[in-house]
Amino acid sequence: MKLRTKYILFVVILHLVALVLSYFIFNDNKIYFIVSEVFIIISVVIAWQLYRQLIQPLKTLMQGVEAIKDRDFNVKFLSTGKHEMDQLIGVYNQMMDELRTERTRQEQQHFFLEKLIFTSPTGIVILDYDDNIQQINPKALQIIGVEAGHVLGYPVDKFSHPLLTQIKQLRSGEAIVVKPDGINTYKLQKSHFIDRGFSRHFIMIEDLTAEILAAEKNVYGKVIRMMAHEVNNTIGPVNSIMQSALKTDQLWEGHRFNDLKDALQVAMDRNQNLNYFMRNFADLVKLPAANKKPVDLHQLIGSVSKLMEIKANEKEIAFEFYLAESQFNINADEQQMEQVLINIVKNAIEAIDLKGTIKFTTAPGKKVLVISDTGTGISAEQSANLFSPFFSTKKDGQGIGLTLVREILENHGFEFSLKTVAEKQTEFTIVFS
């Protein structure tokens, strides 16, 4: 029962009782009876006025409550001239001003946060209370390589992407550095925040590739320059002495030192091989800027395949070409791109034990080249270090071939990947921008 109903019922009952009592008490005296009735009427009038004065603030308060329910903080009341009512209106208007100011501040902060997340160079994934992906910014979509509609509303453990797989294993507050494809390096950090009394998680994906590559290049550049300096300073004088000795006939007259002469020649040849070995490393450090010009990729593939054909025939490896009929032009340094293709094909040949196929594929309308081989494939452990300097899966490998490939392709701004997609199917993909 509402308060005003209770009040009206109480007043009606009270005055009915007063009327009945005045009738029985003053029934014999009409003057007293009339006077009592006048007092009862005055009491009814006063009760009605009190009702209006008491109920009006409640009505005003209810209007304010409805405005708050509707989140309409613009509703304010004017002063009535009544002290109690004006006090209530003053408190209500002040509360509405503070609520409106706070809502504006929160909306501005929310807009700023949304803008910050959207434009952040760090990938950000925000989960809901059930660890479903509620929000993901463009950088995270770019890193993972999906569209927002394919991941929003789904749990993280639904997807098989290597980064999302790592995220599943992270606990709140933990951070790890991963290299899922052997090329790019990412830092994953998982944390949480309290939303309406409950914990929610978010993940930050920071791309460290550029910083790591720059640091690596700086370190191995210093090492290579130091090694080259020491080797050249030693090999040059030693070879000069041995060559002078071999050309001095007086040293060999009347003696049979053929074995010694052969040993000196072998030593010189070994020194030359060591010098060549160091030049390979030096080339990696002194790689010149790309002199980009229009290059026919199909023609370049043809010349590289002819160059590597003899080496492939030794292991009974066949080249297969699935090239687009139209001309495939790229803007690149021809000599450097030739070096890239030679290294890729050489690695593909070495990955095949005996009898296999190396395929060259370009698609019409797509600036993509795929070189696939039927070799032994790449393990997960090898994949993480493939493009690292000095890392090699071959017994006598120097570990600079793929590093050189990476340097050249990155200098050109071309995206690339190397992975085993199926048994006996490893693909090196280059996307030309």
410-433 pLDDT per residue, tens: 889 898 888 888 888 999 999 997
Q: Which CATH architecture has domain 293-431?
A: 2-Layer Sandwich (3.30)
H-helix segments, 361-424: 380-383, 401-412
pLDDT classification of 341: cutoffs 50, 70, 90: very high
Q: For the residues 75-94, what does the mean pLDDT come to?
A: 77
pLDDT at 101 over 80: yes
What are the residue ranges spanned by the domains of the chain?
3-106, 120-207, 211-285, 293-431
Query: pLDDT confidence of 255, banded at 50, 70, 90?
Result: low
Quick: pLDDT tens for 190-202.
998 888 788 888 9
- What is the band of 145 on the pLDDT scale with cuts at 50, 70, 90? confident
**Residue range 252-265: mean pLDDT, rounded:** 63
The reported pTM is 0.52
Give the model's pLDDT for residue 50. Answer: 78
Q: What percentage of residues in the chain have a pLDDT greater than 70?
A: 81
- Identify the H or E element spanning 359: strand 356-362
> What strands, in cross-sheet order, belong to the sheet with 186-195?
133-136, 123-127, 198-207, 186-195, 175-178
| Sheet of strand 368-373, all strands in order from the earlier edge strand to the far edge | 317-322, 356-362, 368-373, 425-431, 415-422
254: pLDDT strictly greater than 70: no
Q: How far apart are CA 364 and CA 368, in angstroms?
A: 9
What architecture does CATH give domain 120-207?
2-Layer Sandwich (3.30)
The alpha-carbon radius of gyration of the chain (Å, integer) is: 43
Per-residue pLDDT at 73 exceeds 80: no
Give the per-residue pLDDT at 43: 83
Cβ(307)–Cβ(342) under 8 Å? yes
Nearest to 269 by CA among 238, 223, 228: 238
Strands (E), 77-162: 123-127, 133-136
Tokens of residue 62, six digits: 């209810």
Residue 115 has pLDDT above 60, yes or no: yes
429 near 362, Cβ under 8 Å?
no
Question: 3-state DSSP: the chain helix, strand, coil percent, rounded to 5?
Answer: 55, 20, 25
- Tell me what percent of the residues of the chain surpass a pLDDT of 90: 13
- For 216, the 3-state DSSP assignment is helix
